Amino acid sequence: MSNTLNVLTEEQVNQFAREGYLIVKGLFSDEDIRTIEETFEAISHTVVPGLFEPELDRKSEDPLKRYPRVMHPHRFNETAKKYMLHKPVMNVLADLYGEEALAAQSMFYYKPPGSRGQALHQDNFYLQVEPGNCIAAWTAIDAANAENGGLLVVPRTSEHAISCPELADSSESFTTHYVKPPKDEKAIPAIMDKGDVLFFNGNLIHGSYRNKTKDQFRRAFICHYANASATHINTHYRPLFRSDGTAVDLEANTNGGPCGVEFETAYPH
């Protein structure tokens, strides 16, 4: 960790180290949020093969068929790439890492009313950043709470070893993996306002509730990053990008997690 902090206080950095996560208020302005909303509203009416494949015409009981998550929008949309490299976010990451951050992934979740959540899991099971770790920056495009499917975090699990996942409950989770929290730790809700960003370590156990509302989307723009000193990452996240937009290619990590399970396309959120 460098001795000079860019934007965070020492207390915030210590909280991240201790708890494994940190909410930073208002890192995205109202104008930023409007731009992201408009961009992904337009994307929601399109199909991008392999990255966003909604069922635009068919009615389904599963709202996620119409509004699946958008994978890697920075690969086909300049606004998504711009906000993946949002300077206020990159500055926080530099303080948390003590060095420059590299952007590895972007995603957008619409999470419409009634949609399932995502079972508890650990992100670095998928990203496989070595040495070091990934950090997620989870930006609330809508206010996130227990009713509309906000995020759950299990505090103090950032030092918890990457675990072999169990099978999730398919009635509540749209992904298959579930990581059981340690005996003495419980998942708590991360309550957020529009424009807030939740940063969390790649070992932190986290997931999300079902959206129990009848009329509220819970949209989120989520990006994952690696420390600049990392040498390996799973191939699905290459290339990475520096804050100025230049591409960086790390070595491909094909370990597939602690149980030797091959990487699945059930990307983390």
Return the pLDDT at 135. Answer: 98
Q: Which residues of the chain have pLDDT under 50?
A: 1-2, 260-265
Query: Rounded to whole angstroms, what are the CA distances from 171 to 49, 69, 144, 168, 174?
Result: 27, 18, 21, 9, 8
SS3 17: helix
Helix ranges (H only) for the chain are 10-19, 30-43, 63-66, 78-84, 87-97, 124-127
Cis before 131? omega within 30: yes
Tell me the pLDDT tens digit for each residue of 87-97: 999 999 999 99
Quick one: tokens of 122? 């650990």
Cβ atoms within 10 Å of 11's Cβ, excluding its own: 8
Return the pLDDT at 193. Answer: 98
Contact between 169 and 178 (Cβ < 8 Å): yes
Contact between 141 and 150 (Cβ < 8 Å): no
Considering the entire predicted model, what is its pTM? 0.93
Question: Rounded distance, CA 248 to CA 250, Å?
Answer: 7
Question: Rounded distance, CA 96 to CA 8, Å?
Answer: 8
Q: Partners of 227 in the beta sheet?
A: 101
Phi, psi of 26 (to 5 degrees): 60, 35
Instruction: Give the sign of the dihedral formed by CA 181, CA 24, CA 145, CA 211.
Output: negative
Question: Rounded distance, CA 198 to CA 72, Å?
Answer: 19
DSSP 19-48: HSEEEETT-S-HHHHHHHHHHHHHHTTS-B
What CATH number belongs to 20-46+63-253?
2.60.120.620
Domain boundaries, the chain: 20-46+63-253
Question: Rounded distance, CA 180 to CA 178, Å?
Answer: 6
Return the pLDDT at 58. Answer: 74
Question: Rounded distance, CA 164 to CA 183, Å?
Answer: 16
Tell me the pLDDT tens digit for each residue of 10-40: 999 999 999 999 999 999 999 999 999 999 9
Return the pLDDT at 268. Answer: 58
